[in-house]
Amino acid sequence: MFDISKKMDDRLVLNGKEYQLFLSFDRVLWCFEMWGKEYIPPELKPKLALAKLTGDESFKDMDALEALELYADVFKNHIQVTRAIDEADRYDIEGNLLPKKPQNAPDDDKEALFSIKYDGEYIFSSFMQAYRIDLIEEQGKLHWQKFNALLSGLPDGTKLVEVMKIRAWKPQKGESSKEKQRMRELQEQYALPKNQ
């Protein structure tokens, strides 16, 4: 939960030693992207992620299982964004936004409406439009949780929100066939890659 009443505690304590966590959005996204690379051995991934998030290369020498447990703890307590309300932004360990599901919805799979990996230009332009924040200039500075709060609060009229509306569109009774065709073409244009 993003608690604005408290200062962010980005520390990792391991065996009595304290490590600073560097949780800028670009470092976290780097970890997500690295985690999805098949050519990197699975036992190396949590070590690389911990080294990136702490700036301490000694994590690369850590036992693989211990590193995985530690990374899972860091992920749960510092990276995964949750809200106090009914719905939560949930990410898998590779950083993919998991689809939201209303409380009483059936268990059918819903596709995500955006991807941090594939919608970078829409996210960038939306942050510029809504907040006058240049995400390139904010690399190494803008905290992951702040980034998520701003991302979830993007207003209507921003490019990402418009693209998400197109992706979520379903034909409605009373819409003309011309409008349905136009929306289907837009959905095709803005479709996310399958099996992202």
Instruction: Tell me how crowded residue 12 is: count the other CB atoms within 10 A of its CB.
Output: 20
**Residue 21: pLDDT over 70:** yes
**Residue 195: pLDDT over 70:** no
Cβ(115)–Cβ(167) below 8 Å: no
Q: Residues near 123 by Cβ (< 8 Å), separated by ≥ 6? A: 114, 116, 135, 151, 160
pLDDT for the residue numbered 12: 92
Which pair of structure tokens corresponds to residue 160? 């990402």
For the whole model, what pTM was predicted?
0.78
**Residue 168: pLDDT over 70:** yes
* Alpha-carbon span 173 to 138, nearest angstrom: 45
33-42, 79-88, 129-138, 182-191: least confident range: 79-88
